[in-house]
Amino acid sequence: MESTGREQLDLETDTPPPHNIIFRKYRGCYVSRGIGLLLGVFFVSALLVTGLLVYYVAPHPPPAPPPASKPPLLSYQPLITTSPTSPISASTTSTSTTTTPASVEQDAVTITKGGMTSQPLGAEPEGITDERESETKKGSPRLPRALRPLHYLVRLQPLINGNFTILGYVEVEMEVLEATSNITLHIADIITHNDTVKLRAAQDPTGPGLAIAAHQFDSEREFYVAHLNETLQPGDKYVLSMHFIGLLNDMMKGFYRSSYRHADGTVTWLAATQFQATDARRAFPCFDEPGLKATFEVHLARQSNMTSLSNMPVKETIPMEDQEGWLWDQYHTTVPMSTYLLAFVVSDFVNLNTVINDKILFRVWARSSAIRQAYYALDVGPRMLTHFVNFFSQPYPLPKLDMIAIPDFAAGAMENWGLAMYREILMLYDPRVSSAYNKQLVASVVGHELAHQWFGNLVTPRWWTDIWLNEGFASYLEYTGVDHVEPSWKIMEQFVLNRIQGMFTADSLASSHPIRHNAEHADKIAYDKGSSIIRMMSHFLGEAAFRRGLTEYLHRFEYDNAEQDDLWRHLTKAAHEAGTLPLNLTVKTIMDTWTLQMGYPVIKVERSADGTSATVSQERFLLVKDDNADDTHDYKWWVPLTYTGQDQPDFSQTQAKVWMKDSEAQVTVTSLPPKDHWVIFNLQQTGYYRVNYDDHNWNLLIQQLLTDHRAIATVNRAQIIDDALDLARAGRLPYSTALEVTTYLPVEKDFVPWAAAFENIAFLTDMLKDTAAYGAFRNYLLDILVPLYDSVEFQDRETDLLLDKYKRQKALSWACRLEHPDCLHNATTSYASWMANPDINSISPNLKSTVYCHAIAEGGEHEWTFAWQQYVAANVGSEKVTLLRAMGCTRRPWLLSKYLEMAFTPDSGIRKQDALTVFNAIANNDVGRQLAWVFLQDHWDDIYDFVERVPMRMIRSACRKFKTEHHLKEHSLLVSPSWLSSTRRTATSCRTTPSTWLSCWRK
């Protein structure tokens, strides 16, 4: 999701982000005379390229275009639903009308489809609003606080093989907290049978009940309101019941329909749910807010050839009266939980299962033809669940956990309590077809969803302002889960590449926002920055105190709701008891500076003349400064400073040696080595900040890398490369210095520094590709890359470590991208061999993305058509996605245009969830970029109808590599007030100001 609260993973990149690095530390490395001469040549080459880089790449902010006006809210047309073909066993009755007050809309049967009056997509995030103020705000989608739900009975019959309606019945027991004369619930895409709505006292369920004077429907706020003739009094409990008709939609939200095709061509339908953040109301009327927890008794109707699943185990299955072949599955009552975590699936899937500690049933579900691909998830899932039980010192509270791979799933995965759902590519793995990265991806996503069973499910944010607690903690803790089940992968050491360095660019823009802000949907900042500052916190508090504080927090708020200040109190208590935090300092004091303001600091270290002390200052890091910006906030943070020196290097001490307060302009650090020895700050890059040094210290670091790079820890080598190149990009460091840092790379053997280098080199390549400087820059890159390419060779070996496979994949991908003849020859030859014998694909799964893409790019229609045929025939999700991306690499414009149309055409063979994957692949293609941009503008409304929120992400994808004033003008026209006047058009995350425009092409 451009990130929503549902799990979103970046499935659109050409090459997978690195995860697993094995760190080694060697001593006594010597450079031969030949290598020294070679490094000298690279050094001179870097200097020659620098002048061209300074001219072409140094920041030159484009002129500011006219500001875009705030777009109108989205509007919707009413939902048209056909009548059901078969009755639900809890019978529905005919509708009737009631006298209605003048201010209340009254319908016997009311159709609703609502657009909430929340922040428009792409608009600037609003400031944090006090919860009570938000409740009383005119037009707020928040429910009144007069009632709270206690228990639901939900009875649903989805007509999967009929007309896709849902026949429903709901009872909700409520407690009155404040005197009220109405009952307000959330509702959307539902037809209510108003004459069946009943309200009775909970202690008298068979009594006459209370009269309902009128029914009101607020489509904008998605409210159903029952107006009463009398006032309900605090402390009393009531049960509201009603019959209704819903819809199994095709938008992958709410209770929706999905399908898959068998080998013989027959189509099978299924029904699944995605309720986060506000779509439980599309399945049944409810109090659809995270802070309003209740218990749920679920009854699902299914045909006898199908299976149903929900959060709890089945309690009883009974035949439906008067409906042959139909059964009711009645489930055990859930623990108290939020509506967005409720889940249902009705399908013909099969499962693999095991039992954890003789008490927790663990099952993995998939299509019968794909179930063998679920063995790895079945292997790692139970071990991860056990790990988290021990990590949190808190038992898993449910008797079972199901994980299911859904063919159509908008989110990457979803943590529904006891019934986690996944895209197929994120749960299924075939070692014969899928790459090592796909295996790691499955492990990571399973770890993420299982961590949510505690952080998010057991303890839930009171409101979406704290959704970052859910996603930040799950994103950090997934690494501990993977490290537990696959320790040889060294995944904890990869955090800096996947979360910190990947986040730094987006968070260095003026258009960033605080982690804690008023939003229903989590974005990259909640996931990546959230997990980064949590990792930082675990290091400065110490692992033992950190875990103790989490355990106490979970115990205190289990089955309840909380906010970040509640967590800060428990962590402070644990840290004070452990002595890892001064008694006069709280976690809240420190962490508020990281969660309530956007961005992050660059720490400037300026050493004294003798080198033994340094003045350390902080300033917000911005890729482009705008002296005319309206933001006058003085950004300062509590910064945990860690450091070591060349005289006694120790990269293991990651607790803060010195705290820089947010009130201090600078601090002095003493006891540093003499001036001819380097210092390095931010050990293992545990702090969420960049580091800049004076020229002398930069030169000392460069000389160390050239003479013996292994004297510096692997993660810090990656940090030095990333900091240097981004500091140069922002104009804070000469490109001559930044490129000198990279001249040692021909002797670098570890993956992490290479990955950090390539992420930054990608930016320079994109900026220079259409300029006269590109030839010299390409030659320089080949000079440093060819030694790596030659060392890894063009074939996987069975004895390779995981990181060797990653290193080879990265080296080959870049060699082909830079048109290295041997690489292109190997790619096209391998692909041709497969085409000659389609039944035997000897291409290594780890090299498929490179081989497929470049062979199709070098070929023509024949190569493209072969890939399409293989895509249609493939039964493994990872293979399908690899082929989808590769087909976007063709250089034939007419094929790309055809491919774009197919991606947004129903029944073309491309699933709706994969439309963005295709668009991104084409937008990333030099030939296809303009085609994608024009297609987006010409088909905006059709695309929005097809996949809702995706167009916002498509704009960002299409303009990511734009870099000219002409591109800026085109983009300005796209989001201009006149163009936005169309019904569904709205502003985007690439807004038209000089600093935020750079987010389109500097990411």
453 within 8 A of 415, measured Cβ to Cβ: yes
Bridge partners, residue 148, by sequence: 175
172 within 8 A of 149, measured Cβ to Cβ: yes
What's the 3-state SS for 886-939?
HHCCCCCHHHHHHHHHHHCCCCCCCCHHHHHHHHHHHHCCCCCHHHHHHHHHHC
User: Which among 396, 799, 267 has a CA at the least distance from the CA of 258?
Assistant: 267
33 within 8 A of 443, measured Cβ to Cβ: no
User: Which among 152, 145, 201 has a CA at the least distance from the CA of 177?
Assistant: 145
Is 798 a known active-site residue? no
Q: What's the sign of the alpha-carbon dihedral 684, 689, 695, 697?
A: negative
Collapsing DSSP to helix, strand or coil, 417 comes out as: coil
Q: What are phi and psi of 608, to 5 degrees?
A: -70, 175
Distance CA 221, CA 115 (A): 7
Distance CA 424, CA 407 (A): 6
Bridge partners, residue 679, by sequence: 645
CB neighbourhood size of 763 (10 A): 18
Distance CA 578, CA 572 (A): 10
158 within 8 A of 129, measured Cβ to Cβ: no
- Order the strands of the 267-274 sheet from edge to edge: 254-261, 267-274, 344-347, 307-310
19: tokens are 């995860």
Amino acid at 193: H
- Residue in the block written with tokens 């493209």: 864
Distance CA 260, CA 264 (A): 12
What's the 3-state SS for 338-402?
CHHHCCEEEECCEEEEEEECCCEEEEEEECHHHHHHHHHHHHHHHHHHHHHHHHHCCCCCCCEEE
Bridge partners, residue 175, by sequence: 148, 237
Distance CA 271, CA 955 (A): 31
Length of the chain: 1003
566: tokens are 């509640």
User: Which among 281, 271, 279, 317 has a CA at the least distance from the CA of 298?
Assistant: 317
- Residue in the block written with tokens 């240097």: 724
**Biggest alpha carbon–alpha carbon distance for the chain:** 98
Residue 353, CA distances (Å) to 382, 451, 656 in order: 10, 20, 46
756 within 8 A of 18, measured Cβ to Cβ: no
Amino acid at 588: K
Q: Which of 415, 449, 520, 740 is the catalytic position?
A: 449
716: tokens are 């810090």
Distance CA 456, CA 417 (A): 9
Q: What's the sign of the alpha-carbon dihedral 526, 532, 533, 539?
A: positive
Residue 337, CA distances (Å) to 224, 397, 558 in order: 22, 12, 10
DSSP string, 264-298: TS-EEEEEEEE-TTTTGGGTS-B--STT--BEEEE
Contacts of 901 by beta carbon, 8 Å cutoff, 6+ apart: none
Q: Kindly list the catalytic residues.
A: 449
